[in-house]
Amino acid sequence: MGSVEVYILGQKYTIKGDAPEEHIIRLASYVDEKLKEVHNSSPNVTPVKASILAALNIADELFKLKKEQEQLTNDIEEKTKTLTALFD
């Protein structure tokens, strides 16, 4: 298990994990970007509230992507059934 130093909103964090260093750096960079977006749109928001808002934005993205993936999986399953029926 390695550790990587990253900066989020100017604060240094040491992240330990099994993921490749570049993956952890990309994740931290993404979180930093989302936090900066919140700060830019609401500069007076506290860091804790900014973190919660950024987490909600990231969760929203995740849920939308999961729903999209689910729809694509359903579409593929339906097309597979249609194609399979053509061969029967």
pLDDT at site 1: 79
pTM for this entry: 0.81
Residue pLDDT, tens place only, 13-22: 999 999 999 9
Question: What letter would DSSP give residue 1?
Answer: -
Cα 13 to Cα 27: distance, rounded to the nearest angstrom? 12
Average pLDDT over residues 38-58: 94
Strand, helix or coil for residue 55: helix
What's the one-letter identity of residue 48? Answer: V
* Domain boundaries of the chain, sorted by first residue: 2-87
pLDDT > 70 in the chain, percent: 100
* The pLDDT of residue 2 is above 90: no
What's the one-letter identity of residue 21? Answer: E
Residue pLDDT, tens place only, 49-79: 999 999 999 999 999 999 999 999 999 999 9
